[in-house]
Chains A and B, each alone.
Chain A
Amino acid sequence: MIKLTKINSIFRVKDGSELQLVIRSIRKSRISILGIIIVAILILMGLFGPLLVSNTPYEMDIDDRLATPSLEAPFGKDEFGRDIFTRVLYGLRISLTVGIVVVSISGTIGVFLGLVAGYYGGISDSLIMRLTDIILAFPGLVLALAVAAAIGPNIINVMLILSFTWWTSYARIVRGEVLSIREEDYVTAAKVMGVKDWTVTFRHVLPNVIGPIVVFATLQMSYAILAEASLSFLGVGLRPPEPSLGVIINGGKEFLRVAPHVSALSGFVIMLLVLGFNLLGDGLRDSLDPKMRRI
């Protein structure tokens, strides 16, 4: 006979709602905590940093060109003598805005189309999934480059291009989840009670696919930030003198030998931002999946 206490210690069952379990699990995961801290600090810097610095990102100081980091200018100065730290703070704002807007728009489109494709099936499914196949067949960044070059490089266009090409992944994820959830008894039970298909989709199916969507959205934040920086670096996103992180790195590349801090420090901030969101996304994935969750 195995003692009951031993069984209890193996299967330590704790009660609490799903949300409480997730929060508890996030608290125990060092990776998630690290991700949350990095992301929180960078978001706070982007939100309030520009209010706290005294200079603007466009202020030039010809005497101080390519100055190395100092107490006065923690990240040094660029080729026009602009304070890189100030520019990075403004750049963070741009990066985060792009990330949030792209994730919101592409998420909304993708989740909606994925729900329709998965739940209703048939022709709507074929049409939506073939459309995603077509869009996924283009190399993303090259498509964005081409379109940005065609309709003009500015921040609105960058966000629109990314949003309208990136919803496909959401659609695929959501469709896959919905295909299994729509067969669940509670979905049929709702239909038995006379609930309309439309209501069933949004009230019964959608809340059950939120987990994977949240994880993917978090990870996609970092892709969107990287993509904006890449496009700006290549000259089809934001243009100089806008303080996008990509623009700052691009400005510094001419002077890599004499003043590596220009590109390196702003590049490091991008890396931190992306790392933060990736850690958070990975942690969330583990915490939202009951099988991976360490209780």
Chain B
Amino acid sequence: MTNPLLKINDLKTYFHTYNGIVKAVDGVTFELGKGQTLGIVGESGCGKSVTSRSILRLIESPGKIESGSIHYKDSNLLTLSESEMNSIRGKEISLIFQDPLTSLNPVMKVGDQISEAIGLHFDMSKQETQEKAKKMLDLVGIPSSEERYYDYPFTFSGGMRQRLVIASALSCDPSILIADEPTTNLDVTTQAQILDLLSDLKSRLGMSIILITHNLGVVAWLCEYVAVMYAGRIVEYGPVKEIFKNPQHPYTSALMECLITSDTSSQVDSIPGMIPDLINPPSGCRFHPRCNHAFDRCLSDDPRLFTYDKKRDYACWLKE
């Protein structure tokens, strides 16, 4: 990519606990272009959410971003001051959480929650921020935004609340939206509506999206690029079509096999074993204890990301 919007290089975020250092994110590198959608997939606890929070520097003690760089446009986010960072948050990069029921302040009118950020980042009068907030409500498909502006969150359903959360996250026209499992807690039909909304907004507003999910189907539908994470690292990265058609890393193939198909006669597959302990990760390749294809070298040497076809990367000794 010639001039990526966001470039993350060798990001390491560790948690210093009493039991030892948890290497939640251990050397993650990826890029995101303007208007691009990147999916990050992987099992629970492989560092997807920590990666997204690291980008906005929301890691709190005992967590710490140890090293690496996060370049957004021309600046390294890791070297900015807290107040400079506050002007990035919401305005340039925004984040939505997986649970819409807890992402809205229960004692604050939804309109005020949306206009709060607008007032913060734009030099607007109170009336103008309210106007913009109402426009955002229209944009995400809340009917009769004029009245609903003054309602409290509990009067909205789960799907509607996720729309509100999206409206709030997009209220300052960010260039990048990070969606941390935006549909996990919603029922299937609402999931589809929210994903439709996201892809519609993306094409209308021209922003980039980082979509974090367990759901490979969602990735195939919405994303152009995908990064597969395992135990704090990216194990495979590239265009969605290529990777889905021809996965190179055994972990990616295993994930694909776990997809639930409409074929009712076959059993649902799972990857044997558990995600490794991130305090003492396995030697060599971190996936080797669960990998069917592991051989001697996987136990001792840590695979780097190899470039394959110049377009995509994977970290595995098998195909070197």
Cβ contact within 8 Å between A194 and B165:
no
Cβ contact within 8 Å between A189 and B107:
no
Q: Across the two chains, which residue of chain B brings its CB closest to A122? A: B61
Contacts of A186 in B (CB 8 A): 102-106
Q: Please report the C-alpha to C-alpha distance between residue A17 and residue B171 in the assembled complex, in whole angstroms.
A: 26
Q: Please report the C-alpha to C-alpha distance between residue A15 and residue B151 in the assembled complex, in whole angstroms.
A: 12
Contacts of A196 in B (CB 8 A): 83, 86
- Among A15, A188, A190, A192, chain B packs the most CB atoms within 10 A around the CB of A192
Q: Across the two chains, which residue of chain A brings its CB closest to B57? A: A191
- Among A121, A184, A193, A204, chain B packs the most CB atoms within 10 A around the CB of A193
Q: Across the two chains, which residue of chain A brings its CB closest to B165? A: A189
Cβ contact within 8 Å between B97 and A188:
yes
Cβ contact within 8 Å between A194 and B97:
no
Any B CB within 8 A of the CB of A139: no
Secondary structure type dominating chain A contacts: helix
Q: Which of the candidate stretches B115-123, B198-206, B235-243, B255-263 sits at the interface with the other chain?
A: B115-123
Contacts of B168 in A (CB 8 A): 189, 193
Return B241 CB to nearest CB of chain A, in Å.
Answer: 32
Cβ contact within 8 Å between B108 and A204:
yes
Say whether, besides A185-B99, A185-B103, A186-B103, A193 and B108 are in contact (CB < 8 Å): no
Contacts of B268 in A (CB 8 A): none
Contacts of B87 in A (CB 8 A): 194
Contacts of A191 in B (CB 8 A): 58, 89
Return A248 CB to nearest CB of chain B, in Å.
Answer: 44
Q: Please report the C-alpha to C-alpha distance between residue A210 and residue B106 in the assembled complex, in whole angstroms.
A: 13
Q: Please report the C-alpha to C-alpha distance between residue A191 and residue B85 in the assembled complex, in whole angstroms.
A: 10
Q: Across the two chains, which residue of chain A brings its CB closest to B93? A: A192
Say whether, besides A185-B102, A186-B102, A192 and B58 are in contact (CB < 8 Å): yes
Cβ contact within 8 Å between A194 and B104:
no
Cβ contact within 8 Å between B89 and A194:
yes
Query: Contacting B89 at CB < 8 Å: which of A18, A193, A208?
Result: A193
CB within 8 Å of B: which A182-218 residues = 184-186, 188-196, 203-204, 207-208, 210
Cβ contact within 8 Å between A194 and B120:
yes
Return A180 CB to nearest CB of chain B, in Å.
Answer: 12
Query: Contacting A195 at CB < 8 Å: which of B94, B120, B155?
Result: B120
Query: Contacting A192 at CB < 8 Å: which of B56, B104, B105, B155?
Result: B56
Contacts of A184 in B (CB 8 A): 102
Q: Please report the C-alpha to C-alpha distance between residue A194 and residue B108 in the assembled complex, in whole angstroms.
A: 18
Q: Across the two chains, which residue of chain A brings its CB closest to B116? A: A195
Cβ contact within 8 Å between A188 and B94:
no
Contacts of A18 in B (CB 8 A): 106-107, 152, 154
Q: Across the two chains, which residue of chain A brings its CB closest to B85? A: A194
Q: Across the two chains, which residue of chain A brings its CB closest to B121? A: A194
Return A114 CB to nearest CB of chain B, in Å.
Answer: 18
Q: Please report the C-alpha to C-alpha distance between residue A193 and residue B172 in the assembled complex, in whole angstroms.
A: 9
Q: Across the two chains, which residue of chain B brings its CB closest to A192? A: B95
Cβ contact within 8 Å between B106 and A208:
yes
Any A CB within 8 A of the CB of B163: no
Query: Contacting A190 at CB < 8 Å: which of B56, B105, B154, B172?
Result: B105
Any A CB within 8 A of the CB of B232: no
Contacts of A193 in B (CB 8 A): 89-90, 94, 116-117, 120, 168-169, 171-172
Any A CB within 8 A of the CB of B88: yes
Q: Which residues of B contact A (CB under 8 A)?
A: 56, 58, 61, 83, 86-91, 94-97, 99, 102-108, 116-117, 120-121, 152, 154-155, 165, 168-169, 171-172
Please give 13 more A-B residue pairs, beta carbons under 8 A apart, in addition to A18-B107, A193-B117, A195-B116.
Answer: A121-B61, A184-B102, A185-B103, A186-B106, A188-B97, A191-B58, A193-B116, A193-B169, A194-B90, A196-B83, A203-B108, A203-B116, A207-B107
The 13 listed contacts between A and B (C-beta, < 8 Å) are: A17-B152, A186-B106, A189-B103, A189-B168, A190-B116, A192-B58, A192-B94, A192-B169, A194-B88, A194-B120, A195-B116, A203-B108, A208-B106
Closest 4 CB pairs of A and B: A193-B90, A194-B89, A193-B117, A194-B90
